[in-house]
Amino acid sequence: MRTGRWIFVIAGIVAAATEAEAAHSFLGGFRPVAGEEGARALWVNPAAIGANNAPTAAADVVWYEEDQLRIGDVRRLSVVAAMPLAAYGLQWNFADEAGVPDWTFAVGKRFPVARLMFGVEIEWRGGEDSSLDGGVGAVLPVGREWRLAAAGTHLFEPETQGVKSRQTWQLGAAWRPAAFLGHVTYDARFEAGDREHWFGLAFDRTRPLRFGGAADIDGNWSLTAGVVFGAHFVGGGVRDPNEGARREFAVWDWAGSRRRGPGGPRTGIRR
């Protein structure tokens, strides 16, 4: 048992995070700060890392569909691993994109305080312009079916290839009724004076098929579908922004056994 734990920890440090823009397992490119509670919470809302007290891992591959989509033209690859209170992530960017670092290593930590959870995340962005960045988050469960959350990213506003990342703040709520095989989310996102409103619906407790989608009031949308087998989820999806390149992505997720402890089943949304 101890050997298995050490193998997981080492794997998390060596190959660990999530693609910062385009990959939630069930909601595609949309990033719900109150709905995410696995390894991908590292760059979405670090307060939700391991919120169900289970070790998790994930990997994402992203393509941008411009003139022609070719499977070999991978734009981004990311992997993440998380224990109940910490996560480690690594992302590679294979395209020369202004404002996007060649690679990013991230470490996140969650701090439960009674029913309230706080989280911090620190990134080292490498490549032509090396820099530090970070994020913070908070999650408050309300009863057994609701969760309220807030998160901030790009707190240090690093600059890469002449493009400055702007601070982004997001407020969100998630509702997971006991009789429903999924959850509904709402998020308000604020960046440089602009505001977006996102609505999401995910069926993430069904087997063997799972699917979800999200849209905002400006015409951006994303869809994801996949198959569950054992502790694994494998799927793919598409994100279609009304400005910019269409994105295709493939995802893999793994979830271990839940443990009792701080921020466990009594302080998170019931699954």
Q: Which residues contact 154 (CB under 8 A, 6 or more apart)?
A: 133, 135, 165, 166, 167, 168
Residue 150 has pLDDT above 60, yes or no: yes
Measuring CA to CA, how many Å separate 236 from each of 227, 243, 264? 10, 21, 29
| 178-200 residue pLDDT tens | 888 899 999 999 988 889 899 99
Beta bridge partners, 228, equal 233
pLDDT of residue 15: 31
What tens digit of pLDDT does each residue of 92-103 get?
Answer: 988 777 777 889
What percentage of the chain carries pLDDT values higher than 70? 79
Which CATH fold topology does 2-255 show? Porin (2.40.160)
Report whether pLDDT(256) > 60.
Answer: yes
Q: What average pLDDT does the segment 233-247 reach?
A: 78
17-68 pLDDT tens trace: 333 333 334 555 567 899 887 888 898 899 998 767 788 998 988 887 655 5
d(CA 32, CA 89): 19
Lowest mean pLDDT among 142-156, 207-221, 230-244: 230-244
pLDDT score, position 174: 95
If one counts every other C-beta atom within 10 angstroms of the C-beta of residue 160, the result is 21
